[in-house]
Structure 1
Amino acid sequence: MASYSRQPEITMQDVDGVMLRTAYWPGSDGGELPLVFFNGIGANLELTLALGDMFPDRAILTFDVPGVGLSPVTQWPYRHWMAARWARKLSDRLGFGSVDVMGVSWGGALAQQFAFQYRNRVNKLILCATSSGMTMIPGRPASLSKMVDTRRYTDPDFMRENFAKLYGDAADESAGDHIHGLRPPDPKGYFYQLLAFAGWSSLPFIRFLKMPTLVMMGDKDPVVPLVNGQILTWALPDARLHVVEGGGHLFIVTRAAETASVINSFLGERAGNAAQAA
């Protein structure tokens, strides 16, 4: 497993009666806004440990949704607006005001929901390998069928053999770190994530997301094809598209240095939504 110079503080937090395993990286005094990060479906926070080194001066917040990682599954299903509210309450506890928001895959949908509910607090938005929701253009059937196979969480050899077919990325050393960091989600928790996505779309409210937005997509992504990023870029009022050439669904893992460079450059540009409002 890779070692990282910045390690998060990991705690269990009770939010609205829901226990959430939360990771928090304190920031430096450089004036950078905190970053709220939303992970992909079934992805535990151990898979986010590289964030501290990718964004070395920022305070960062992320958490395991119920039934993922070590967050207990809820008794009842939840919706995206509820998970966005949990994130806002966790942000409040840490004293965050304006924030930048980033989401990957399933977490990209949650990032859009958060940006809509709390748009006066969101400075910039980063959407990676994601879509507008159930209105998306689907990926390859061969990859999608592998996505629902629970062996990708429990059998490292299965994951290594099928990594390229699943995600469109080569199973190199960085992929190995991802594979060994996986924790199998609770089956009911995984179903609740799928259920939260069912019927959800950002298209009814996407024109309200006026903050500068970076959409990053891999042109070899078999799960969320590039056209979904093009739709997002067209629909968002202030968005740009960056295509990771040769990148698959997990380019944030397999092309971490390139991804971090593009995002840090975007975050370092002109003031975003929250600063303009202030």
Structure 2
Amino acid sequence: MSDIVRELRVDGRSLRVAVRAGEGTPLVLCNGIGASLDLLQPFVDRLDPDIPVVRFDVPGIGESELPRLPYNFATLAWQLGRVLDELGCREVDMLGISWGGGLAQQFAFQNPRRCRRLVLVATATGMLMVPASPRVLSKMITPRRYRDPAYAATIAATLYGGRLRDEPLLAKEILYRHAPLARGRGYALQLIAGAGWSSLPFLPLIRQPTLILAGDDDPIIPLVNARIMHLLMPRSTLHVYPDGHLGLVTRADDLAPRIADFLQR
């Protein structure tokens, strides 16, 4: 079943939202930094079609309107709640990848009754985490990889690891062909939103059943971060997959059924 893509006006700003109809609790996808909702299409295509899916472009990213003022994870989680109100979604499951994992953690903490289950993929606890190497972090400062397909292929092995070490040209397909060009100001606002934020103080308070997925070759989010989160989250399960930072896309055939099984228990 194809998604219905629409624009929603929330707090005077236009947000691009895609909804796939289905039965049961909707799964809300929170994407990584600089990425539009299109990036996770390969994952959605392989996810059980009975599971409803909600995707959105963060303000200033993809085709969502650029906000006038900076935001943080707490205010964005509140705004996401408004989006779900407009869509008529009362109870949801949350999936966050990378930067979007921070938003998913914040939403689950702020909405303990509304968020039923939580899936965290290739993500960490924010500023208080075991960081990537300076060589990797330096390539995260700008959204150039979303704009320049040749550059994306050049840095794919160093930045994303896993399958992209052997198939760097796949980065063109993942980052460039399926997504609107990332805007510099919107990307900067995402960087600002993560500055100073950490989930470490409240992770033990997240009581939703949580599936943590982490790659064994993820240069951006070292695997030890997933192990720390697993220790702190009382109802979490950790699965380590043999791939890198974009495993949710490059290993969608394996991870999508695993996530569906977790959500449908």
Normalised by the length of structure 2, the TM-score is 0.93
Whether 1:178 aligns to 2:174 is: yes
Aligned pairs for 1:134-145 (under 5 A) are 134-145=127-138
TM-superposed CA distance for 1:49, in Å, is: 2.0
Whether 1:11 aligns to 2:6 is: yes
Pick aligned residue for 1:160 from 125, 150, 153: 153
Q: Which is worse superposed, 218-227 or 136-145?
A: 136-145
Pick aligned residue for 2:119 from 126, 132, 140: 126
Whether 1:60 aligns to 2:57 is: no
Segments of 5+ residues of structure 1 without an aligned counterpart are 1-5, 270-278
Displaced runs of 4 or more, over 3 A: 171-176
Pick aligned residue for 1:95 from 88, 94, 100: 88
Contact map agreement 2:130 2:224 (CA 8 A) in 1: yes
TM-superposed CA distance for 1:140, in Å, is: 2.2
Contact map agreement 1:25 1:52 (CA 8 A) in 2: no
Aligned pairs for 1:181-260 (under 5 A) are 181-245=178-242, 247-260=243-256
Aligned partner letter, 1:222: P
How many residue pairs were aligned? 260
Q: Distance in 2 between matches of 1:18 and 1:52?
A: 29
Q: Distance in 1 between matches of 2:25 and 2:54?
A: 11
Whether 1:69 aligns to 2:62 is: yes
Whether 1:115 aligns to 2:108 is: yes
Contact map agreement 1:108 1:131 (CA 8 A) in 2: yes
Q: Distance in 2 between matches of 1:256 and 1:115?
A: 24
Q: Distance in 1 between matches of 2:13 and 2:231?
A: 36
Contact map agreement 1:39 1:103 (CA 8 A) in 2: yes
Q: Distance in 2 between matches of 1:58 and 1:237?
A: 26
Contact map agreement 2:211 2:238 (CA 8 A) in 1: yes
Whether 1:106 aligns to 2:103 is: no
TM-superposed CA distance for 1:82, in Å, is: 1.5
Q: Which is worse superposed, 70-79 or 174-183?
A: 174-183
Whether 1:264 aligns to 2:257 is: no
Q: Which is worse superposed, 214-223 or 63-72?
A: 63-72
The percent identity for this pair of structures is 43
Segments of 5+ residues of structure 2 without an aligned counterpart are none
Aligned partner letter, 2:229: L
User: What secondary structure does 1:152 align onto?
Assistant: helix
Aligned partner letter, 2:232: A
Aligned partner letter, 2:234: P
Contact map agreement 1:38 1:103 (CA 8 A) in 2: yes
TM-superposed CA distance for 1:162, in Å, is: 1.9
TM-superposed CA distance for 1:242, in Å, is: 0.4
Change in 2 beyond 3 A, CA 1:256/1:176? farther
Q: Distance in 2 between matches of 1:26 and 1:209?
A: 28
